[in-house]
């Protein structure tokens, strides 16, 4: 993509109404645009990054047998009444059609997925099974002031798993946990993320959150000094004991929940009569687990963890482009050739082909935060100056060896 063609432009201004560093930087760098509090547009750069994240998640969900579907955003009132959540779920946006029919906008999809699965699951032979989607969610938040970290509308990956018994759910829950760690590793935030015990509802004592340390986080977590597992405030007893290693010492950290996994048990299979016939012909309730990751929140959290005062610093796996190519001092024709060559090799390049000063181009490259900066000028001759974002070290490389270095 040539920068002269790219829709968004960088801005020197700090957006006045953004509190979180991630949203300030994403707005300044032209990744997102704020429509109103908690409502954002993903601009071309932002969508490309969100798609990288979504595909990392998809890959892991597919590996644990999840099948992707797309459930509707409109959830009919009767389904939310059946689960007794129409009145009790605070965050629902509610609306009425011209025919008088009422809906809530999907904030989570147990009420859609449970009756759906009931149509297809008949016997123990159909279990276990899991369905997921990456879909637009809506939350009627009282306040939405943390930028993309807490929004009224966002893409979410929600996975639902269905099991014959609690033991099989336990087995799958561990698989999801491992998949989540791989996702957070590929997104570059694993080291800052704590597996966090939270309250679990009726079916199990605990649910679990993945909480990433950041000053912009709205949560406080209690992190075991010995094993780095955490508990959230809801379940902190007067005296701390780590549920994982029984350690007694902890630190308090500000954090943001980037994922959660929850054993729902029969919470939704009971109201929706979701049962299966076992080997002995008995009718038994299906045991359900649910597992969420918010895409924009994860995007924002990656930025919270990976940035400096100059701008974004994308981990390789999620960067919208691998490299930022800059042409200086009338080296445009040479840069054009390199750009075409890299495109033909399948390297994703953002090419700053503007007529602008070196200082402006360098500043914008730092702000955009791609992993590699490629500089072509009269000084670099037939070679290209390569620099990693966040490093001051530069290196002159041949075009032939470039792909191997940056891909």
Is there binding between residue 76 and a second copy (CB under 8 A)? yes
Contacts with 161 (C-beta within 8 Å, 6 or more apart), sequence order: 128, 129, 130, 169, 172, 176, 288, 289, 290, 291
Nearer to a second copy, 98 or 333 (CB): 98
Q: Which residue has 């402006």 as its token pair? A: 360
Contacting range for a second copy; rule: CB under 8 A; set: 96-104, 193-201, 298-306, 379-387: 96-104
Nearer to a second copy, 62 or 215 (CB): 62
Binding mask 142-171 for a second copy (x = CB under 8 A): xx--------xx------------------
Smallest separation, CB 388 to a second copy (Å): 27
Q: What sign does the CA torsion over 319, 321, 327, 331 have?
A: positive
Q: What angle do CA 262, 92, 101 make, to 5 degrees?
A: 120
Nearer to a second copy, 83 or 140 (CB): 140
Q: Which residue has 């694993």 as its token pair? A: 190
Among 12, 16, 87, 98, which residue interacts with a second copy (rule: CB under 8 A)? 98
Contacting range for a second copy; rule: CB under 8 A; set: 98-106, 170-178, 184-192, 194-202: 98-106
Nearer to a second copy, 298 or 384 (CB): 298
DSSP annotation of 84 reads T
Is there binding between residue 39 and a second copy (CB under 8 A)? yes
Contacting range for a second copy; rule: CB under 8 A; set: 90-98, 323-331, 332-340, 393-401: 90-98
3-state secondary structure of 330: coil
Name which of residues 41 to 70 contact a second copy (CB under 8 A). Answer: 41-44, 46-47, 50, 65, 67-70
Is there binding between residue 7 and a second copy (CB under 8 A)? yes
| Residues 69, 160: Cα–Cα separation, whole Å | 11
Is there binding between residue 332 and a second copy (CB under 8 A)? no
| CB contact at 8 A, 330 and 52 | no
Nearer to a second copy, 26 or 406 (CB): 26
Is there binding between residue 35 and a second copy (CB under 8 A)? yes
| CB contact at 8 A, 49 and 303 | no
| CB contact at 8 A, 50 and 314 | no
Q: Which residue has 């099948």 as its token pair? A: 67
**Helical residues (DSSP H) of 259-406, grouped into ranges:** 295-305, 332-344, 358-368, 399-406
Contacting range for a second copy; rule: CB under 8 A; set: 37-45, 256-264, 301-309, 381-389: 37-45
Name which of residues 126 to 145 contact a second copy (CB under 8 A). Answer: 129, 131, 135-136, 138, 140-143
Taking CA atoms, 380 is separated from 188, 328, 339, 397, in Å, by: 32, 10, 16, 9
Q: What angle do CA 293, 295, 297 make, to 5 degrees?
A: 90
Q: Which residues pair with 388 in a beta bridge?
A: 372
Q: Give the interface with a second copy as residue ranges (CB under 8 A).
A: 5-9, 33, 35-37, 39-44, 46-47, 50, 65, 67-76, 90, 93-95, 97-99, 101, 105, 112, 116, 119-120, 129, 131, 135-136, 138, 140-143, 152-153
């Amino acid at each position: 993509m040539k920068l002269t063609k790219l829709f968004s432009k960088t801005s020197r201004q700090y957006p006045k109404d953004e509190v979180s560093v991630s949203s300030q930087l994403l707005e300044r760098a032209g990744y997102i645009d704020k429509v109103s509090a908690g409502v954002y547009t993903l601009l071309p750069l932002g969508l490309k990054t969100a798609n990288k994240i979504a595909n990392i998640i998809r890959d892991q969900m597919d590996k644990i047998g999840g099948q992707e579907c797309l459930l509707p955003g409109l959830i009919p009132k009767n389904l939310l009444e059946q689960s007794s959540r129409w009145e009790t779920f605070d965050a629902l946006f509610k609306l009425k059609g011209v025919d008088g029919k009422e809906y809530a906008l999907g904030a989570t999809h147990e009420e859609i997925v449970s009756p759906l699965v009931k149509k297809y699951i008949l016997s123990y032979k159909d279990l276990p099974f899991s369905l997921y989607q990456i879909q637009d969610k809506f939350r009627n938040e009282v306040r939405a002031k943390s930028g993309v970290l807490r929004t009224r509308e966002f893409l979410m990956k929600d996975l639902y798993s269905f099991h014959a018994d609690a033991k099989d759910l336990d087995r799958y829950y561990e698989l999801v946990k491992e998949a989540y760690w791989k996702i957070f590793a590929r997104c570059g935030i694993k080291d800052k993320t704590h597996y966090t015990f939270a309250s679990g509802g009726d079916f199990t004592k605990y649910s679990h959150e993945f909480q990433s340390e950041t000053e912009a986080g709205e949560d406080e977590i209690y992190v075991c000094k010995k094993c780095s597992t955490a508990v959230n405030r809801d379940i902190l007893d007067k005296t701390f004991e780590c549920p994982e290693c029984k350690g007694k010492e902890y630190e308090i950290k500000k954090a943001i929940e980037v994922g959660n996994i929850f054993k729902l048990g029969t919470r939704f299979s009971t109201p929706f009569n979701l049962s299966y016939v076992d080997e002995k012909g008995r009718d038994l309730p299906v045991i359900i687990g649910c597992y969420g990751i918010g895409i924009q929140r994860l995007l924002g959290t990656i930025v919270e963890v990976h940035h400096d005062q100059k701008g974004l610093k994308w981990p390789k796996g999620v960067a919208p482009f691998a490299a930022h190519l800059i042409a200086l001092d009338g080296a445009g024709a040479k840069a054009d050739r390199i750009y075409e060559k890299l495109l033909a090799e399948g390297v994703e390049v953002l090419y700053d082909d503007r007529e602008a000063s070196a200082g402006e181009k360098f500043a914008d490259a730092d702000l955009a935060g791609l992993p590699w900066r490629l500089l072509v000028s009269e000084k670099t001759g037939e070679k290209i100056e390569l620099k990693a974002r966040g490093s001051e070290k530069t290196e002159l490389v041949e075009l032939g060896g470039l792909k191997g270095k940056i891909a």
